[in-house]
Structure 1
Amino acid sequence: MTDTWQAYGETLTSRLLLGTALYPNPNAMQESIKASESEIITVSLRRQSPEDGGGESMWQFIRDLNKKLLPNTAGCHNAKEAINLAKMSREIFNTHWIKLEVIGDDYNLQPDPFELVEAAKILTDDGFAVFPYCTDDLVLCQKLLDVGCEVLMPWGAPIGTGRGIMNPYSLETLRQRLPNVPLIIDAGLGKPSHACQALEMGCSAVLLNTAVAKAHDPVLMATGFKQAVEAGRASFLAGAMPERQSASPSTPVLGTPFWHQS
């Protein structure tokens, strides 16, 4: 039986979402996404600008991939700006899905929780399927669910840092307290092992861009992340052994003869 998950009524098999920015060239972007076997890719209206031909070449490469598009509101700093960009993206990319980013701090690119919740409510009421990029704060995540979000995208670490999951306790708490909500770890993952850890914790999926796009070999790195996500999910389903404070022999000693020399 195929292991699937759901996001706004869409049944998905891949638990790896990939971005389309920062690659050395369009061919590298296209081949990396193919290698990842991702079903969802993120696109930025501000980067692609297909409506005025500014990114027509890149936009053609994206269209050729035939993937589910998740436009984002990257670069927005308040609810009004994010809402306007989301509405433009809906018209241009022909999708009601939106990755909602409202940045509150330019140093660590941390989301503004107040503007994020406000924008999420307005967009949800307007028919959008909102994927909010948020911190791993439980109360914030509950507020986003209260205004209509069905998926959460908490960060692992600040965008582009590659530091991996900096606060496992908070993410484990989210998973335990919100067991039926799809959690997509977004931002800060730098190595396949980071993605594996997220899936081992029971998270639904991971979204990344820089770790693949800036690798020396983006296609090989995309393959590595695909395999890591599969390994992490298998570990979660199988039930990883609990950690112990003391050693425990893997070979049973009960009934084993011991020989003593006098």
Structure 2
Amino acid sequence: MLDSPLIIAGKTFQSRLMTGTGKYRSVEEMQQSIIASGCQIVTVAVRRVQTKAPGHENLAEALDWTKIWMLPNTAGCQTAEEAIRVARLGREMAKLLGQEDNNFVKLEVIPDAKYLLPDPIGTLEAAEQLVKEGFAVLPYINADPMLAKRLEEVGCATVMPLASPIGSGQGLKTTANIQIIIENAGVPVVVDAGIGSPSEAAQAMEMGADALLINSAIALSQNPAAMAQAMNMATYAGRLAYLAGRMPIKNYASASSPLEGTITS
């Protein structure tokens, strides 16, 4: 079955799985996992690169940026003002790595240190300003259908609702709201945060999500490269199942074989 490519802000991608660069035990595991995932978009925490945080010291050289599209993110920002400033740094970082036309930013405004839940008001404020500055904004949000629609209206390139708290591995806890967001969105919906297993990844895609962003479930697994490959396959399987259309659910049994022509004694 032929599928259309994923298009974000006019740029075309064949893979519907995005991955990250954090939490890996080594740079080598990160490199192997990104290759195994088949992804074309990789998120990079701008602040961690700027401060040369562990695992991010040589990130610029660790990946082939001619093949992977960088998605700078504003992780660690607690206010809209901070996020806007870091987004600008991220755009310059992408240019230094040869991606002159890269205006993408994954917008995160998270003042909540315990649950890491995004601030809806700060996110909307930052998104409005960044869109004005020509950014392709991919906002990380709670699974709030009204906020998702408002962000789309101000010009965001996608919406990225969480499935459950980031890094928790709790799986799809916001299914009903994500379904509403998918039904009403005119931009790609990327399910982000909380997915812990390939079965959950497949389920999110079966719902009609356009793409997934998965980091912790891969990086914190016992074999990240193998898990990355599994997530790749699950993303594809879920997308194919969505396009195929599942059978209707019934309250009663339905025989697989017809009763006509059966042998009677």
Same fold at TM > 0.5: yes
For 1:135 and 1:104, locate their aligned partners in 2 and report how far apart those are by CA, in whole Å.
Answer: 13
- CA 1:171–1:134: 2 relative to 1, 3 Å: same
Residue 62 of structure 1 deviates from its aligned partner by 2.5
For 2:210 and 2:237, locate their aligned partners in 1 and report how far apart those are by CA, in whole Å.
Answer: 13
**8 Å Cα contact 2:162-2:174 kept in structure 1:** no
- CA 1:91–1:240: 2 relative to 1, 3 Å: same
For 1:173 and 1:256, locate their aligned partners in 2 and report how far apart those are by CA, in whole Å.
Answer: 46
Residue 36 of structure 1 deviates from its aligned partner by 0.6
Q: CA RMSD in A?
A: 1.9
Q: Which residue pairs with 2:99 in the alignment?
A: none
User: What SS does structure 2 have at the residue aligned with 1:235?
Assistant: helix
The question of 1:253 aligning with 2:259 is answered yes
Matches within 5 A, 1:237-248: 237-248=243-254
For 1:251 and 1:157, locate their aligned partners in 2 and report how far apart those are by CA, in whole Å.
Answer: 42
Matches within 5 A, 1:174-213: 174-178=181-185, 180-213=186-219
For 2:215 and 2:256, locate their aligned partners in 1 and report how far apart those are by CA, in whole Å.
Answer: 40
Deviation >6 Å, runs of 4+: none
Identity of aligned residues (%): 41
Q: Which residue pairs with 2:72 in the alignment?
A: 71
Q: Which residue pairs with 2:137 in the alignment?
A: 130
Residue 104 of structure 1 deviates from its aligned partner by 3.8
Residue 175 of structure 1 deviates from its aligned partner by 1.5
* Residue identity opposite 2:90 in structure 1: S
- CA 1:131–1:87: 2 relative to 1, 3 Å: same
Larger Rg: 1
- CA 1:161–1:120: 2 relative to 1, 3 Å: same
Matches within 5 A, 1:38-49: 38-49=39-50
* Residue identity opposite 1:67 in structure 2: I
**8 Å Cα contact 1:2-1:13 kept in structure 2:** no
Residue 173 of structure 1 deviates from its aligned partner by 1.2
Taking structure 2 as the reference length, the TM-score comes to 0.92
Residue 203 of structure 1 deviates from its aligned partner by 0.6
The question of 1:24 aligning with 2:31 is answered no
Structure 2 unaligned spans of 5+: 96-101
For 2:263 and 2:183, locate their aligned partners in 1 and report how far apart those are by CA, in whole Å.
Answer: 45
For 1:127 and 1:168, locate their aligned partners in 2 and report how far apart those are by CA, in whole Å.
Answer: 32
Structure 1 unaligned spans of 5+: none
The question of 1:105 aligning with 2:112 is answered yes
Q: Which residue pairs with 1:140 in the alignment?
A: 147
* Residue identity opposite 2:46 in structure 1: L
